[in-house]
Amino acid sequence: MRAFLLGLLLGLFATAAQAQGVPRWMTLPPTPTLPTPVSSGHAPVNGVKIWYATFGSGPPIILLHGGLANANYWGHQVPVLAKTHRVIVMDSRGHGRSTRDSQPYGYSLMASDVIGLMDYLQVPKAAVVGWSDGAIIGLSLAMSHPARLDRLFAFAANSDPSGVKDVDKSPVFTAFIARAEKEYEALSATPTEYKKFLAEISNMWATQPNWTARDLGAIKVRTWIVDADHDEAIKRENTEFMAGAIPDAGLLLQPEVSHFSMLQAPGQFADDILRFLERKWD
Within a domain: 25: no
Within a domain: 169: yes
Give the mean pLDDT of 237-257. 98
CA pseudo-torsion sign 241, 136, 111, 114: negative
Domain containing residue 163: 35-277
Return the CATH number at 40: 3.40.50.1820
Q: What are phi and psi of 73, to 5 degrees?
A: -65, -15
- Cα dist from 28 to 165, 174, 175, 205, 280, whole Å: 18, 10, 8, 22, 34
Contact 156, 135 (CB under 8 A): yes
Q: Answer whether residue 13 shows pLDDT above 50.
A: no
Within a domain: 98: yes
Q: Answer whether residue 14 shows pLDDT above 70.
A: no
Order of strands across the sheet that contains 250-254? 39-45, 48-55, 86-90, 60-64, 126-131, 149-155, 223-228, 250-254
Q: Answer whether residue 253 shows pLDDT above 80.
A: yes
- The one-character DSSP state at 125 is -
Q: Answer whether residue 229 shows pLDDT above 70.
A: yes
Q: What are phi and psi of 173, to 5 degrees?
A: -70, -35
Distance of CA 21 to the CA centre of its chain: 28
pLDDT at 18: 52
The structural domain count of the chain equals 1
Chain mean pLDDT for the chain: 94
pLDDT at 75: 98
Within a domain: 6: no
